[in-house]
Structure 1
Amino acid sequence: MKQMIGIDIGGTTIKLALIDSLGNIQKKWQIPTNVEENGRFIPQEIVATIQANVLGKDELAPDIAGIGIGVPGPISPDGNFVVQAVNLGWSEMPLKSVVEKVLSIPVTLLNDANAAALGEMWKGAAKGKQNLVFVTLGTGVGGGIIIDSKVINGVHSSGGEIGHIAVTSDETRICGCGNINCLETFSSANGMVRTMKKLLSEAGEVRGDFTTVDIFKWLDAGDYLAILTLDITVSYLGQAIAGIMNTIDAEEVVIGGGLSEAGSALLEPLKAKIDQHIFPQIRGKYMVSQAKLGNDAGIYGAVYSYLSTQTN
């Protein structure tokens, strides 16, 4: 059976897996992400770990058909370069050709959020679906949009940048991208904490350092400010997702990232907010679900991306 290697490059670790064409993981491992000297050693370290863990010198080593790599940044339209990966220090990194030249194995590159979206479609929460909106709620807000089983990448490799949809607010929050009041400044984990701190300050309360885990604990206890914080967070997010759904009419919305671990405490009010703004013809005919694959979503999606290049 055909074997592939899926790779998900993160800011702290690089996750790798040997996966067959049916999506069965044969082996999984990870290495630290070496960001020294603007990440210049990462490609060769990826090659080295594949040689050591999969190819080796064993005559029984599997014949690898291809490699899929998810990267935290946009990919050039021709699929050859990582345009930029700020967390890695990369700019115009020819990752595809570097890995292919050494290993003589075809490589497919894609954005990491798009990889996670494909992974959830192939083997996760949206298994069996072909049209979905994937939203990851972590430090920022990432996402991927899939239509007819294909990622919407866009002309400038910036399709699915859900976190940078502009929202209207009396506040001014500057986003890391340089724009003002992007969705992720309100609806990410960081944005949610910032909202809670603002409400506490206005109420003259001090609670020290806290995270979204604390906010959901306070919410469970019926804390009014936590309830208001969640309402503000999901209000912006729900309106943005409804706008996307009204545009593409997908089957499912999949929510991943750290905030998704709150489960129904987040998903139920979010679904209610989406329903307030979604087109009546769609309302009640789509799903909002929690991502299932966790940290494996990217490696599954990277392999699926490679497989799709072979069948198209």
Structure 2
Amino acid sequence: MGEKKLIGVDIGGTTVKIAFITQEGEIMEKWEIPTVLENEGASIVQDIADSIGSKQAEQSLLHEEFAGIGVGAPGFIEEETGLIYEAVNIGWVNFELSKQLNEATGYPVYVQNDANLAALGENWKGSGEQYKNVLAITLGTGVGGGIVVNGEILNGTNGMGGEIGHMTIETNGGHPCNCGKTGCLETVASATHIARLARERQAESKYLQQLNASEISAKDVYEAADALDEVAQQVLDYVHYKLGMAIANLAIALNPAKIVIGGGVSKAGDRLLNPVRAYFDQYALKRTSEAVEFSIASLGNDAGVIGGAYLVKQGME
């Protein structure tokens, strides 16, 4: 039968990405299913199990040809037990993801926070380039973080390591965050809140005025800034400033060799990276700054599933 294949699953607020992956980290097959949020996400586990089973049948692959499932979910997770304390964007509270997915599929299941998983994926096959000390940041619906220290994901005492989206960056009158606090980094630097900040100033903007307010996206804000729209430029300058300062403070504590930025907002490329790096250099220690390289995540939306496969690979050792 040869080497067993790996299954990577990346649960997001909109879609669940699933992939069959080789031991070398090559994607054999990947696909997506919708994340069904009704009834606090009650059907998600069975949806994943059914989808994996039907894809295996479609490709005439046997259950025993696979070693296990590595899965990432957005939330606060107890890595060793696979318990999700809370996944605010899905509706899970004290949800036994590992146990339920294991019962639904018959596979060993390894669980990590989705941003940690993306960091593992990037570090294995992408922009992390297998450095020992990496800070990975995902800017999507929320803001996630994965911290690799001495080659290992930093989980912390109870699974709360790397929750950089919930660093407080606005102390007075910050916007409410899904976590229950106000003024979190997520309320400024996520795609959701870049769009919100632009909507709040839409009337002042020549470019954004032409758009339907409810449909303004972070991509629109970058395009408006490219078209020299002053409001869009001001909004993005504020986002880049807060993000650069937050990353600088983290880097002072962690001294990484590599900072990788992924998620939907990272599609802005150098328009995001260059100003964030400039603010980073302003606030980081000179020696910290000299040691670090910034890059956009190279695996894109595949980082999570590849990280999931890596979790299984680690678990087999």
TM-score (norm. length: structure 2): 0.89
How many angstroms apart in 1 are the aligned matches of 2:67 and 2:18? 15
Distance 1:166 1:228, change over 3 A: same
Provide, for residues 86-144 of structure 1, a one-character-per-residue CA deviation record: whole Å limited to 9, x for no partner: 33332222222233235432110111111111111111111232211111112321111
Provide, for residues 62-87 of structure 1, a one-character-per-residue CA deviation record: whole Å limited to 9, x for no partner: 61112101112122253232222233
The aligned residue for residue 132 of structure 1 is 134
How many angstroms apart in 1 are the aligned matches of 2:22 and 2:51? 19
Is 2:253 the partner of 1:253? no
Q: CA deviation at 1:264?
A: 0.7
Alignment map for 1:47-66 (pairs within 5 Å)? 47-54=49-56, 58=60, 63-66=65-68
How many angstroms apart in 2 are the aligned matches of 1:226 and 1:56? 47
Is 2:246 the partner of 1:240? yes
The aligned residue for residue 24 of structure 1 is 26
The aligned residue for residue 268 of structure 1 is 274
How many angstroms apart in 1 are the aligned matches of 2:315 and 2:166? 29
Alignment map for 1:82-121 (pairs within 5 Å)? 82-121=84-123
Q: Secondary structure at the match of 1:282?
A: helix
The aligned residue for residue 46 of structure 1 is 48
The aligned residue for residue 303 of structure 1 is 309
Provide, for residues 205-252 of structure 1, a one-character-per-residue CA deviation record: whole Å limited to 9, x for no partner: 982533322322232233333332222111111110001111010111
Q: CA deviation at 1:190?
A: 3.2
Distance 1:64 1:86, change over 3 A: same
Distance 1:205 1:67, change over 3 A: closer
From 257, 271, 277, give the equivalent of 2:283: 277
Distance 1:58 1:262, change over 3 A: closer
Letter of the 1:278 partner, please give it: A
Q: CA deviation at 1:2?
A: 2.7
Larger CA deviation: 262-271 vs 96-105: 96-105
How many angstroms apart in 2 are the aligned matches of 1:69 and 1:237? 27
How many angstroms apart in 2 are the aligned matches of 1:254 and 1:269? 15
Asked whether the equivalents of residues 263 and 301 of structure 2 are also in contact (C-alpha less than 8 Å), the reply is no
Residue correspondences, number: 311
Larger CA deviation: 158-167 vs 239-248: 158-167
Asked whether the equivalents of residues 55 and 61 of structure 1 are also in contact (C-alpha less than 8 Å), the reply is no
The aligned residue for residue 180 of structure 1 is 182
The aligned residue for residue 215 of structure 1 is 221
Q: Secondary structure at the match of 1:281?
A: helix
Give unpaired runs (5+ residues) of structure 2. Answer: none
The alignment-based identity, stated in percent, is 39
Q: Secondary structure at the match of 1:283?
A: helix
TM-score (norm. length: structure 1): 0.90
How many angstroms apart in 2 are the aligned matches of 1:117 and 1:170? 32
Letter of the 1:227 partner, please give it: Q
How many angstroms apart in 2 are the aligned matches of 1:103 and 1:235? 45
The aligned residue for residue 81 of structure 2 is 79
Distance 1:222 1:45, change over 3 A: closer
Q: Secondary structure at the match of 1:31?
A: strand
Larger CA deviation: 234-243 vs 155-164: 155-164
Give unpaired runs (5+ residues) of structure 1. Answer: none
From 145, 148, 173, give the equivalent of 1:146: 148
How many angstroms apart in 1 are the aligned matches of 2:296 and 2:252? 21
Larger CA deviation: 226-235 vs 60-69: 60-69
The aligned residue for residue 226 of structure 1 is 232
Distance 1:200 1:14, change over 3 A: closer
Letter of the 2:303 partner, please give it: A
Q: CA deviation at 1:37?
A: 2.6
- CA-based RMSD: 2.5
